[in-house]
Amino acid sequence: MLGLFYCRWGHEPLPCVGSTDLRGKNVVLIGMPGVGKSTVGVLPAKALGRYFLDTDVFIQAIQGRSLQEIIDHEGLAVFCKIEEDYVLCLDLKNAVIATGGSVVYSEKAMQHLTASGVIIHLDLPIRKIEERIANLDTRGVVIEKGQTIRALYHQRQPLYRQRAHLTIDCIGKTHDQIVIEIAEVLG
């Protein structure tokens, strides 16, 4: 059952999602912005009877502002710290979690997610991601000024592959086919 509790890490309390359901490991989706983590993530949650949490939406809901507003006003480093703190507050079991693409920058966040989950990297070639992302300046992507999405892709790909228990190549696959692959991983 989902509920709210307060998580502290040395400053003001933060509402976090918690669960007492211990039926299974979480499915944690990682990957580049535009690969479909949020879109695909809700489908296996529904099909497998699991909770669904999009960490980007979670951050925005609690912060009361968009990811881009946080990045614009606080900077990339502060945003990454906020993302890490929110992920460290998650206490979910039997959930599908769609993470922000930058979560792999945090060793602590990834260890926390790995401790209770199966990490699945949804992968698409850079050309497909470039086609999907038209709103890079407003989407809330952790990207340095002047950096291209292609450069970001090459920076993050090794991190995704290192962290993932499984990489699913999403090219040419329907959402249903990806859900079937995720379900097969869970047995």
93-103 confidence digits (pLDDT tens): 999 999 999 99
Question: Following CA atoms 40, 46, 51, 57 in sequence, which dihedral angle do they give, to the nearest 10 degrees?
Answer: 40
Residue 118 lies in a domain: yes
Residue 69 lies in a domain: yes
CATH, residue 31: 3.40.50.300
* Paired tokens of 84: 């890490």
Report the sign of the C-alpha dihedral through residues 15, 117, 28, 109, in that order: positive
* Paired tokens of 153: 């892709």
Has residue 14 got a pLDDT over 60? no
Nearest to 38 by CA among 103, 88, 94, 96: 96
Q: Round the average pLDDT of the chain to a whole number and report it.
A: 87
Range of the domain at 179: 24-185
pTM of the model: 0.87
The pLDDT value given to residue 110: 97
Total structural domains in the chain? Answer: 1
Relative orientation angle of helices 37-48 and 175-185, to the nearest 10 degrees:
60
Residue 1 lies in a domain: no
The pLDDT value given to residue 184: 82
The pLDDT value given to residue 137: 78
Residue 9 lies in a domain: no
The pLDDT value given to residue 55: 97
Has residue 19 got a pLDDT over 50? no
Residue 33 lies in a domain: yes
Residue 10 lies in a domain: no
Residue 18 lies in a domain: no
